[in-house]
Structure formats: C-alpha cells, structure tokens
Amino acid sequence: MAGQTNAKKGVLDPIIALLRWIWDRLERTLLLAIKLVFPSRFISPLGFLGMLTVIVFLILGVTGALLLFHFQPIFGDCPPAAANTTYVPAPTCNSAFNSVASINNQVNWGFLIRNIHYQASNAMVLLAVMHMFYQYFAGRYKLRYEILWVTGIILGVVTIIEAYTGYDLIFNIRGQLAINIGQTLTYYTPVLGANLAQIIFGFSFNDLTIRFYAFHVFIIPIIMLAIMSIHLPKNLVLDIPVASAITGMILILGGLFPVEVGVRYDPNQLTQITFPEWYFTSLYAFIRTQGLQPFIAGAIIPGVFVLIFTVVPFFDRGRKIAMVDRPFWVALGVAALGQIAIVTVWGFRASNPFQPLLTEGQLLIDPVLFTGSLLIATALSYGFVYAFVRWRRAKLDALRAAKKPIPYRKVQPYLLTKGEVYALLGGLLLLQAFLDVAIFRAFLDTLNNFALLEIGMVLVAFAATVHIYRVGAQVK
Amino acid sequence: MQVPKKHFPIVGLIGLVVVAAAGGGVYYYQFVLSHATVTYLPSHRLVFMTAIVQEERGFHITNTAFLNQSNLPKFDSTSGASMTGVNSTNYRGESDNKTIDAHVGDMITFYIFGENATSSDPALHVSTGHGFDIVGSGSFTVNTSANSPGILGGTNPANPAIPFGKWYSVTVTFNSGGSYTYLCSIVCSPLHGNMNGQIVVT
C-alpha cells in the first residue's frame, strides 16, 4: 500500500511519539534555550563548580520546603504581657528553637532533612567560593564574562546573607551571637543605622523571627534567582556522576557529623561563649580586634575586600589568560586566600592564638599580633607566588629563545581492562544492593545517622557505577 | 575504541578494596556493634567550689574535672586537695557556675572553700562558716574516707562544716536520677535561704 513504511512497529512507539511531541513544543519555551551538555567522559569538576553550586541550591530548596511544614517562626508573646511592665519572654516561648528541636528529634525524617539542609548550606558556600577562585585564577572574566563575574560576586555575597539568616532562625545561642553582631553592625551604619536596624531586625523578638523567616525563605531566594537569571551562562555542563557524588558526600557528612540543635537562646540568661559558622569566623576575628571600630571591622573591611574582587576584570586587561602570564593577579589571588585562611583561624582562637576560645576574658584580640600575622601571611604568600610565577615565565622564555621544545608531562590514560570493568561494576552493584538492605534496617532500628550515611554512600556508589560504565563502554 | 595494553590491574584492585571496605565498614558498625541503648560508664567527678554568703555570690563552682584514677587526691582542710600528679581531665560545667550535671552511678567529690563576707555589714557576719547538705527525691550515698572526711548536714553555728578560710570535702554517689538541691545548712545571712544550687542526675 502506498505510504506504508517497512519500519517495524514497536510497543513503545506511542510513548516515543508523545515524548517527541512534548519536546517539539518545549522548543517554544525558555527551558530548551539552556544548552545542557552531559559529558561522555570524565572532565575536571573545577570547570563546572558553578553548576554544582546550582545543584546544591536545588537541594537546599527542596529540603528547605520540607522543613517549612514543621518550623514555627515564633518567639515571645506568651503569656501575654501585663500592662505597664517590661516584658521579658519566658525561655519556653522560644517556639522557633523548640520547633527545630522537634524536627530533629520527633518528626519522621526530620533529622535527615535538617542535616541535609545544613550540610548543603555549608557545601553551597564552599562551592561558591571555590567556583569564584577557580574562575579568577583561570582568568575566565577576560572572555567577555565580565557581567557574569560581577553578578557572581554579588550572588556570593547574597548567598552568605542567606546562610546567615538561615542559621539565625534556629534561635540557639549561636544564632543569638550572629543576630547580636548583625544588629550592632547595622546600628553603627552612619546616618541610616537606627532606621535600618529597625527595618531589618524589627522591634521585638517576634518581629525579628518573622522577618528573618521572610528573608530566608522568600525574599533572598527570589533575589538569588533573579541574579542567577543573569549569571547563568547559556551552555552548562551537567555531569550526572559528579553531581550525584557531591550530593552523596553532603549526605555522608550529615550522617558522620550530624548538626546539633545547640543550646536554646534564653534572653534572661547570660550566654556561654560560642562561635559563628566557619564562613563568618573571619568577620568575627575583625570584630574582636581591640580598638577597631565595629562598623570598620564588620562592614568596611569586608566591603573593601569584596569591592577589590568585583573590579578585578576592569584592571586585569592583558590579553593573556594563562596563570604563568599573570604573576601579579595570581599572587594577589593567593594572598587573598592566605588572608582568608589566617583570619578564619583567628576567629576560632582566644586572645592568645595558641589557646581555644573558652571564656569572655579571652575575647579581645591584640591588634598588633592580629594585623602583624595578617600582614606577614599576605606578604609571604604574595611574594613567594609572585617570584615563583616570574621564575616559571623566565624559564619558558629561555627555552623559547633557545628554540628548545617546552617540556610537558603527557599523562598516559590508565585504561581499564574488560575484567576490571566487570569486577568493579559487579562489586559496586553488590555494594548498592547491600546498602539498600542496610538503609531499610537502619530505619527499622531508628538509626538515623546510619540511614543518612548509607543513602549518601548509595549516591556515591551510583556515581562510580555510571563513571565506570561510561569508561567501560570505550573498552573493547 | 582504545584497547588497553596488558597491565597489572592496580586500579581495579584498589577499587574492589574500597568497595569491600565500604560494605564491610557499614556491616561492622551497623550489624556487629550494639546500638541498643546509650550507656554511660560511671565516672568520678571532682567539683571545686567556693562558699560565701548569698548576698555576695553564694556557692560558686570554680572548676570541674573527671578523676581518672581510683584513689582520691590527698586532702587537708588548710590547703585543700593536692592535685599534683593526679590523673584528671577538666570538663566544662553549666554556665551558671551553680548547677552540676551527673549521670546515675556517678561519684562526686566536692571541694568547698569557705569565704568570709567582704562587706562590713554585721548582718553578713552571723556565723563562723557554712554548712553543706544535699536533699532530693532520689537516693544517694555518702562515702566517707580519709581524703574526703566531710559529712552532710551540720547545723551548729559554733562548729561549721566549712569554716571561713578552710577547705571541706565530701564524696557522694548518686544512685538514681532526678533533681537534687545542695544547700548551706547553717544560718549565715539574711539571704541564707537562697544559698543553694542544683544537681541534675540523668
């Protein structure tokens, strides 16, 4: 019959036709404008750290949404205050903390979700910082990526603020320390200080809780999404094994180092010494430095640091991208990393840096010791790296002048044999099957840490399986 | 297609060892080790305190430590406990410097130094020292020994358990959970009734 084809009809044809129909219509949407590349071989994750940050952002969105079902942004107002008395809320009125404790201890799966949310927040900050430094050292902003660079820096700062509002919401003493510092810094803002503090922190504990809740779950994420719409490039690399491994590692960390609820914040009691999250200890060190004005320590210094990074692409105008051709900028980047490292460590230490911070008497840091160590670390890291890059450059120039080939080590790829591929795939599948049983048993025995750790291990094992499979596909 | 040369399968072997270690680790920690209940080994705690009239601070814990040896430090009422050569580990107690935490079965040795009020107000100088007693719903035992000779509950203002300028030591084992109160048992000032603290045994 005319028009009939010889192609065999398959049972899946209607489904394939439906998928094709949907795909054709999706081309009218924004969704397919983003070009996702799924690499068929291993490529360094350093090149797509940004995409990994987005994946962690999605994990935070999903786990955060689940936490919303049980979190109560309430503090105070119980029992009602008597007229004409100074109202001091009872510690039991810290419903925000109580609800977090309930999520952690009573709500089904609550422990898992909260731990994933916490570890993912740390991972997002870390990945964002790593992403920024990789792009900086690789000189990517020279390839007409200046707008991506600037929006990226803003996105990084907003990410830190988002993390800040998040851990304040627990209303434990660590949250209280962060709130107190944030509020004090805002008050010290010239001219606008008092008004700004009232707008952000409100007039009471209840105001504060509900405002930070609004910032954390809606206002800041919306701002982040808006900036992301400019920051995301059109071409994105989505390496499923690496994304799966990162997710798995977040879960494993949650299982191994479960986050504690902490000590409940009671406004009637003096609190113990505590620390901010690790990404804020640097700021904490500046604030604790004797004689430094709070606004200068907490706002101007970090502000200048961020500003320098923001304007880098507009000063580093040379055409060359390789690190060996940019000694000044590479040394500057390493010096910045050195600064961040030493100041972060200072934040955890007492006035005597060889002692941990335990009592209030140890809070103040000696400015001479602090700035001295900071300057020495910066100067040394800058000097050594600058000299090293210049030496490398001179060596390459000498070779080029002598018309000698530039030596570089060619790494021979290790090719898996067929036997290795089968053995590894078999072993990994067995491991996953065993882990599935172990997870099931862990839930029956309410061993939450084990369950979280093992789900993470399954994701890492899945990543390894997919990777070995794609490597194995190239082996005869 | 790349054809691998014949080589020793080092990556494959290491991979299999990692897979086996992961599976074996999970098996051992989840199925071999017991997780049924959290148990605490009874520990011996040392609590160092000062006792002054309530108007000027009351009882105040200055240090807390675990004693990691069976015999108590040498003690005399003039110089207190001699900690030289004693195997102990300091730990952080409650931030109010009054509340003591312990587990059931724990032994606590109190070392309390009596201090006279610094104020010249005669109302704060009605006794020559403080007393020490523990009350609570649960059960506890006092273990009197040469290095911790104190007893509980002295009420004689002329012969106080903790005379000003002297050390006092008593050792107590807590046999059941609950909240206990330690208190001064000699009327020493107008706020004497508030000179106490909590021992929370879980």
Range of the domain at A151: 44-271
A35-44, A176-185, A370-379, B16-25, range with greatest mean pLDDT: B16-25
Q: Is residue A204 part of a domain?
A: yes
Please tell me the predicted confidence (pLDDT) of residue A166: 92
Q: Does the beta-carbon distance from B11 to A434 stay under 8 Å? A: no
Q: Are residues A54 and A195 in the same domain?
A: yes
Q: Is residue A339 part of a domain?
A: yes
Buried/exposed code over A6-34 (b: 16+ C-beta within 10 A; e: otherwise): eeeeeeeeeeeeeeeeeeeeeeeeeeeee
Distance CA A256, CA A243 (A): 20
Q: At what angle do helices A220-231 and A146-168 cross, to 10 degrees?
A: 160
Distance CA B77, CA B147 (A): 10
Question: Looking up tokens 């803003």, which residue turns up?
Answer: A154
Tell me the per-residue pLDDT of A385-419, one tens digit each, with 9 for 90 and over.
Answer: 999 999 999 998 998 898 888 777 777 777 888 88
Please tell me the predicted confidence (pLDDT) of residue B135: 83
Please tell me the predicted confidence (pLDDT) of residue B5: 66
Please tell me the predicted confidence (pLDDT) of residue B37: 55
Q: Does the beta-carbon distance from A424 to B20 stay under 8 Å? A: no
pLDDT, greater one: A293 or A80? A293
Q: Are residues A429 and A465 in the same domain?
A: yes
Nearest CA in chain B to A440: B30
Q: Does the beta-carbon distance from A415 to B2 stay under 8 Å? A: yes
Range A198-204 average pLDDT: 83
Write down the CATH number for the domain with range B44-201. Answer: 2.60.40.420
Binning pLDDT at 50, 70 and 90, where does residue A461 land?
A: very high
Q: Are residues A247 and A380 in the same domain?
A: no
Contact A465, A427 (CB under 8 A): no
Continuous H helices in A278-417: 281-288, 294-295, 301-315, 327-348, 367-401
Indicate which CATH number applies to the domain containing A102.
1.20.810.10
Contact B171, B67 (CB under 8 A): no
Q: Are residues A256 and A299 in the same domain?
A: no
Nearest CA in chain B to A422: B12
Residues of A in contact with B9 (CB under 8 A): 416-417, 419-420
Range A145-155 average pLDDT: 92
> Could you tell me how many CB contacts below 8 A there are between chain A and chain B?
80
Distance CA A207, CA A89 (A): 13
For residue A423, give both structure tokens.
């053995």
Nearest CA in chain A to B91: A358
Please tell me the predicted confidence (pLDDT) of residue A131: 95
Last residue of a domain, one of A223, A252, A271: A271
Last residue of a domain, one of A361, A382, A406: A406
A35-44, A81-90, A425-434, B66-75, range with greatest mean pLDDT: A425-434
Residue B65 has pLDDT above 70, yes or no: yes
Residues of A in contact with B19 (CB under 8 A): 424, 427-428, 430-431, 461
Which residue in the set A420, A461, A476 is minimally distant from B12, CB to CB?
A: A420
Nearest CA in chain B to A416: B4
Q: Does the beta-carbon distance from B30 to A476 stay under 8 Å? A: no
- What's the one-letter identity of residue A11? V
Q: Does the beta-carbon distance from B12 to A424 stay under 8 Å? A: yes
Least confident of A152-161, A246-255, A322-331: A322-331
Distance CA A164, CA A168 (A): 6
pLDDT, greater one: A201 or A457? A457
CA angle A89, A91, A95 (to 5 degrees): 90
Q: Are residues A246 and A281 in the same domain?
A: no
Q: Is residue A2 part of a domain?
A: no
Q: Are residues A139 and A212 in the same domain?
A: yes
| A424: nearest Cα among A368, A354, A475 | A475
Please tell me the predicted confidence (pLDDT) of residue A71: 92
Binning pLDDT at 50, 70 and 90, where does residue A115 land?
A: very high
Distance CA B65, CA B49 (A): 12
Distance CA A365, CA A295 (A): 17
Which residue in the set A415, A417, A431 is minimally distant from B22, CB to CB?
A: A431
Last residue of a domain, one of A223, A254, A271: A271
Q: Domain locations in chain B?
A: 44-201
Residue B125 has pLDDT above 90, yes or no: no
3-state helix/strand/coil string of A21-82: HHHHHHCCCCHHHCEEECCCCCCCHHHHHHHHHHHHHHHHHHHHHHHHCCCCCCCCCCCCCC
Q: How far is A67 from chain B (nearest CA, A)?
A: 28
Question: Looking up tokens 């021992």, which residue turns up?
Answer: B199
- What's the one-letter identity of residue A187? Y
Q: Are residues A156 and A240 in the same domain?
A: yes
Please tell me the predicted confidence (pLDDT) of residue B40: 62
Handedness of CA A250, A339, A216, A77 (dihedral sign): positive
Please tell me the predicted confidence (pLDDT) of residue A405: 82
Q: In this structure, what are the phi and psi dihedrals at residue A220, rounded to the nearest 5 degrees? A: -70, -45
Please tell me the predicted confidence (pLDDT) of residue B1: 52
pLDDT, greater one: B150 or A66? A66
Q: Is residue A289 part of a domain?
A: yes
Question: Looking up tokens 């790349």, which residue turns up?
Answer: B2
Which residue in the set A417, A431, A442 is minimally distant from B9, CB to CB?
A: A417
Q: Which residues make beta-bridge pairs with B169? A: B111
- What's the one-letter identity of residue A230? I
Range A15-37 average pLDDT: 89
pTM, rounded to two decimals: 0.72
For residue B132, give both structure tokens.
């020490």
pLDDT, greater one: A6 or A33? A33
For residue A336, give both structure tokens.
């910045």
Tell me the per-residue pLDDT of A61-92, one tens digit each, with 9 for 90 and over.
Answer: 999 999 999 998 888 655 444 444 444 445 45
| For testing contact with chain B, the best of A414, A430, A470 (most B CBs within 10 A) | A414
Least confident of A88-97, A265-274, A430-439: A88-97
Range B137-163 average pLDDT: 82
Please tell me the predicted confidence (pLDDT) of residue A270: 64
Please tell me the predicted confidence (pLDDT) of residue A213: 94
Nearest CA in chain B to A461: B19
Residues of B in contact with A434 (CB under 8 A): 23, 26-27
Pairing of strands B80-82, B107-114: unpaired
Binning pLDDT at 50, 70 and 90, where does residue A357 land?
A: confident
Tell me the per-residue pLDDT of B18-27, one tens digit each, with 9 for 90 and over.
Answer: 999 999 999 9
Distance CA A265, CA B141 (A): 36
| For testing contact with chain A, the best of B5, B27, B95, B101 (most A CBs within 10 A) | B95
Domain count, chain A: 3
Residue A205 has pLDDT above 50, yes or no: yes
Q: How far is A456 from chain B (nearest CA, A)?
A: 12
| A180: nearest Cα among A251, A265, A242 | A265
DSSP for A190-210, written as a single string = TTTHHHHHHHHH-SSHHHHHH
Which residue in the set A420, A434, A461 is minimally distant from B9, CB to CB?
A: A420
Residue A271 has pLDDT above 80, yes or no: no
Average predicted confidence (pLDDT) for chain A:
87
Average predicted confidence (pLDDT) for chain B:
85
Q: Is residue A413 part of a domain?
A: no
DSSP for chain B, written as a single string = -BPPPP---HHHHHHHHHHHHHHHHHHIIIIIS--S-------EEEEEEEE--GGGT-EEEEEEEEE-SSSPPEEETTTEEE-TT--EEE----TTSS-EEE-TT-EEEEEEEE---SS--GGG-SSSEE--EEEESS-EEE--BTTB---S----TTS-SEETT-EEEEEEEE-S-EEEEEE--S--STTGGG-EEEEEE-
Q: Are residues A224 and A303 in the same domain?
A: no
DSSP state of A264: B
Tell me the per-residue pLDDT of A209-235, one tens digit each, with 9 for 90 and over.
Answer: 899 999 999 999 999 999 999 998 888
Question: pLDDT exceeding 90 applies to what percent of chain B?
Answer: 18
Please tell me the predicted confidence (pLDDT) of residue A81: 46
Question: pLDDT exceeding 70 applies to what percent of chain A?
Answer: 93
Q: Are residues A158 and A213 in the same domain?
A: yes
| B162: nearest Cα among B80, B93, B84 | B80
Q: Is residue A306 part of a domain?
A: yes
pLDDT, greater one: B13 or A76? B13
Q: Is residue A36 part of a domain?
A: no
Q: Are residues A104 and A231 in the same domain?
A: yes
Q: Are residues A368 and A434 in the same domain?
A: no
- What's the one-letter identity of residue A82? A
Please tell me the predicted confidence (pLDDT) of residue A414: 79
Q: Is residue A95 part of a domain?
A: yes
Which residue in the set B20, B30, B95 is minimally distant from A450, CB to CB?
A: B30
Residues of B in contact with A476 (CB under 8 A): 1-3
